[in-house]
């Protein structure tokens, strides 16, 4: 073990930053022994110098400017835990890499939007490297498993439950029968959801993670704009009940897979068997399923957020830096990453669940069936549910069809006089 310390600068002392600092001080000897090198937090950046973070910070150098700290000669490793796709987070990471320093970040938005450019900067600058285990699935070591553990595999599919807030909401809706809005309010009260929950329930947080994993899995440039994103706002209590009656649960699933048209990326609520590996994941837990030609399918589960779990991933990257373990950012050289596959998301074929709200009068089901037929869709099963007012919920499961056919059918049904609300569809995923 070398006595020359790795001097660390941490930008951001929120939940994750404070937890990381706490472990690096309280458990320093144990972590340093595993790293094979002395570790020392030397400098920090935070908005509030007076806040009690449970750690003695009197000996630390305080900076007001993250970019200045990232460029400081007394900082060997820059740890960015501020968040944000642009602004000072991006500028400070670029400054550290340009100065030939390794960077550890938990910033999924930054990587999803600028990961390829940052990887190129890191790989052409001697001494620089970019590490981001904490940006994907919190404490689950998904990046290392995909980039290193499965390096010998031809990966065919990456999927998972990538947002604990959404999984909590869907699990509670199923368990209590409550409406989406009521469960969201409870999630906010418990601290599982932000005051503005758009990034979570709209699917954007999980889509950032999916785009990063797809880049590693398939050796392609990050293509966040190419992710087809649908959140869980339209999932209703009747969808939960209908899914349960058929032996399914509803989960917000991210799926990236290689097909004949290229690599597709989709983040949307799906029906999956209740007894499947992903169907059993409940509450705020995350899960990542990786499928390769040699290993088959393997699944990793654990906490996807929180101070301790995310700090665990940050610490793993710090140990890698101390050991000199700096693999290519996305598994292959940045210059070798292939372009995104335009149009691959349209090649989505399978069974779909469809819910329509119809006026309760004779002939309505025949009109819906005709609209589906004109769209080339065959009905596997159809059910009209009990209702107390004039609008009857009808749920339909199709035989295998194309996504474009489902979208065309929804437009035709929405245009019918008997339809009282926009139709809702969800893909049925059997594994």
Residue 132, domain CATH: 3.40.50.720
Give the per-residue pLDDT at 387.
Answer: 64
Report yes or no: 104 and 79 within 8 Å, Cβ to Cβ: yes
Same domain, 160 and 271: yes
51 and 75 together in one domain: yes
Strand, helix or coil for residue 420: coil
In this structure, are strands 391-398 and 379-384 parallel, antiparallel, or unpaired? antiparallel
Of the residues 101, 209, 280, 410, only one is catalytic, namely 209
* Domain co-membership, 66 together with 178: no
**pLDDT at residue number 1:** 63
Residue 411 CB contacts under 8 Å (≥ 6 apart), including other chains: none
Q: Are residues 59 and 80 in the same domain?
A: yes
420 and 383 part of one domain: yes
Q: List per-residue pLDDT tens for the chain, 431 residues long.
A: 677 899 999 999 998 999 999 999 999 999 999 999 999 999 999 988 878 888 888 889 999 999 999 999 999 999 999 999 999 999 999 999 999 999 999 999 999 999 999 999 999 999 999 999 999 988 899 999 999 999 999 999 999 999 999 999 999 999 999 999 999 999 888 888 888 999 999 999 999 999 999 999 999 999 999 999 999 999 999 899 999 999 999 999 999 998 887 889 999 999 999 999 999 999 989 999 999 999 999 999 998 888 899 999 999 999 999 999 999 999 999 989 988 776 677 778 899 999 998 888 888 889 999 999 999 999 998 888 766 667 788 899 999 999 999 999 999 999 999 898 899 999 999 87
Q: Is 69 helix (H, G, I), strand (E, B) or coil?
A: helix
Query: pTM to 2 decimals?
Result: 0.92
For residues 229 and 204, membership in a common domain is answered with: yes
Both 173 and 249 in a single domain? yes
In this structure, are 241 and 363 located in the same domain? no
The CATH number linked to 222 is 3.30.360.10
One domain for residues 281 and 244: yes
209 is an active site residue: yes
C-alpha to C-alpha distances, 309 to 15, 20, 202, 252, nearest whole angstrom? 11, 10, 23, 21
Cβ–Cβ < 8 Å for 310, 139: yes
Could you list the residue range(s) of the whole structural domain that residue 367 is in?
A: 348-428
How far out from the chain centre does Cα 95 lie? 27
Do residues 353 and 393 both lie within one domain? yes
Query: How many structural domains comprise the chain?
Result: 3
């Amino acid at each position: 073990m070398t006595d020359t310390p790795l001097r660390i600068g941490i930008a951001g002392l929120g939940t994750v930053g404070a937890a990381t600092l706490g472990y690096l001080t309280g458990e320093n000897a144990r972590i340093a022994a595993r790293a094979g090198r002395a570790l020392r937090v030397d400098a920090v950046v935070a908005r509030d110098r007076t806040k009690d973070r449970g750690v003695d910070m009197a000996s630390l150098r305080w900076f007001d400017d993250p970019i200045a700290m990232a460029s400081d000669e007394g900082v060997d490793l820059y740890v960015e835990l501020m968040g944000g796709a642009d602004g000072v987070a991006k500028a400070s990471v670029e400054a550290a890499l340009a100065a030939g320093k390794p960077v550890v970040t938990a910033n999924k938005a930054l990587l999803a939007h600028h990961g390829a450019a940052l990887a190129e900067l890191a790989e052409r600058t001697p001494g620089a490297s970019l590490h981001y285990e904490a940006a994907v699935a919190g404490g689950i070591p998904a990046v290392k498993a995909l980039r290193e553990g499965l390096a010998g595999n031809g990966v065919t599919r990456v999927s998972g439950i990538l947002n604990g807030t959404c999984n909590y909401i869907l699990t509670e809706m199923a368990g209590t029968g409550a409406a989406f809005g009521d469960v969201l309010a409870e999630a906010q009260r418990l601290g599982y959801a932000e005051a503005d929950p758009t990034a979570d329930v709209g699917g954007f947080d999980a889509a950032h993670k999916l785009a990063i994993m797809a880049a590693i899995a398939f050796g392609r440039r990050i293509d966040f704009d190419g992710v087809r994103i649908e959140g869980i706002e339209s999932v209703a209590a009747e969808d939960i009940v209908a899914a349960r009656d058929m032996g399914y649960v509803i989960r917000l699933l991210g799926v990236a897979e290689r097909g004949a048209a290229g690599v597709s990326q989709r983040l949307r609520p799906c029906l999956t068997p209740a007894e499947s590996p992903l169907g059993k994941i409940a509450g705020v837990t995350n899960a990542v399923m990786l499928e390769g030609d040699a290993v088959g399918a393997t699944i990793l589960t654990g906490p996807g957020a929180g101070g301790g779990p995310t700090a665990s991933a940050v610490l793993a990257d710090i140990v890698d830096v101390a050991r000199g373990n700096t693999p290519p950012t996305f598994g292959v050289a940045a210059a070798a990453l292939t372009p995104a596959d335009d149009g691959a998301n349209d090649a989505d074929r399978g069974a779909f669940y469809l819910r329509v709200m119809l006026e309760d009068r004779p002939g309505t089901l025949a009109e819906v069936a005709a609209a589906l037929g004109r769209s080339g869709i065959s009905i596997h099963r159809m059910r009209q549910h009990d209702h107390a007012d004039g609008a009857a919920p009808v749920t339909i499961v199709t035989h295998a069809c194309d996504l474009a056919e489902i979208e065309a059918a929804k437009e035709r049904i929405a245009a019918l006089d008997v339809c009282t609300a926009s139709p809702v569809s969800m893909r049925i995923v059997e594994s």
